């Protein structure tokens, strides 16, 4: 995977050597013939109909709740492959993260270990993060610890435009980091300006969550 320049020359994406290494030599890929019954948690996010899809398998030690094995398959771009490959190493190195540690891991940590991703590809590390958390919920569902399941539900922010906090999160991940840019993508608050203070607060929250002090 070489660095990429758009056809019209208006944008360029530069990939670190670490990203390229994980793309060409993905770690912990779920190969055909691997016995899926040895895993006790499965997570899935996305859809091939709308782009990236990712499925992960985990083997969790029931005594320590450490992740002993993590496999994955994705129908996605090079950034999605590299992000998931790196995440699979992070959650299994040094004896494996506990589920609590893995749940606390953030997309920014994956991106930092990769040496960065193009801004337009940051959502790929979020895709992996969400699949991991879905697998953690699946594990707790299987072992009957439903009190430890953390459901991810969308909250309606603007009932007029039917915009949720998930919509705003997606807009920020796609590069919209100002209220004007988010409105262009979602139409939030255009017919209901009373919601704008809440929207601005969410934009600040997601900017800090995913990009830290860089934005």
> What's the CA gap between 206 and 215, in Å, rounded?
10
The mean per-residue pLDDT over the stretch 148-172 comes to 87
pLDDT in tens, 77-131: 888 899 999 999 999 999 999 999 999 988 878 888 999 877 667 677 778 888 9
207 within a domain of the structure (yes/no): yes
pLDDT (average), residues 35-57:
82
Judge if 38 and 129 occupy the same domain.
Answer: yes
Same domain as 124, residue 44: yes
Catalytic residue list: 50, 124
- Residue 197, exposed/middle/buried by CB under 10 A (0-12, 13-18, 19+)? exposed
* CATH code, domain carrying 194: 1.10.10
d(C-alpha 107, C-alpha 126), whole Å: 5
- pTM given for the model: 0.71
Q: Among the three residues 130, 148, 166, which one is the final residue of a domain in this structure?
A: 148
Does residue 1 lie within any of the structural domains? Answer: no
Residue 31 domain flag: yes
CATH number of domain containing 125 = 3.90.1010.10
Q: What is the domain range of residue 188?
A: 156-214
Same domain, 12 and 118: yes
CB 171 within 8 A of CB 199: no
In a domain, 111, yes or no: yes
* Sign of the dihedral through C-alpha 74, 120, 193, 197: positive
Q: Is residue 23 part of a domain?
A: yes
pLDDT tens-digit map of 163-198: 988 899 889 988 898 999 999 999 999 999 999 988
């Amino acid at each position: 995977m070489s660095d990429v320049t758009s056809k019209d020359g208006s944008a360029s994406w530069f990939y670190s050597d670490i990203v390229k290494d994980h793309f060409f030599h993905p770690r912990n890929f779920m190969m055909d013939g691997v016995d899926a019954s040895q895993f006790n948690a499965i997570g899935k996010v996305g859809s091939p109909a709308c782009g990236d899809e990712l499925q992960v398998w985990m083997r969790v030690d029931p005594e320590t709740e450490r992740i002993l094995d993590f496999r994955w398959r994705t129908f996605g771009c090079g950034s999605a492959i590299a992000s998931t490959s790196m995440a699979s190493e992070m959650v299994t190195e040094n004896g494996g993260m506990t589920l609590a540690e893995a749940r606390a891991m953030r997309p920014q940590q994956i991106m930092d270990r990769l040496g960065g991703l193009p801004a337009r590809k940051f959502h790929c590390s979020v895709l992996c993060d969400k699949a991991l958390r879905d697998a953690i919920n699946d594990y707790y569902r299987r072992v009957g610890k439903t009190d430890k399941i953390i459901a991810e539900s969308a909250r309606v922010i603007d009932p007029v435009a039917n915009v949720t906090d998930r919509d705003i999160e997606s807009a920020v991940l796609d590069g919209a980091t100002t209220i004007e840019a988010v409105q262009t993508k979602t139409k939030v608050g255009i017919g209901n300006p009373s919601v704008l203070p809440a929207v601005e607060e969410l934009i600040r929250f997601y900017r800090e969550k995913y990009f830290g002090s860089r934005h």
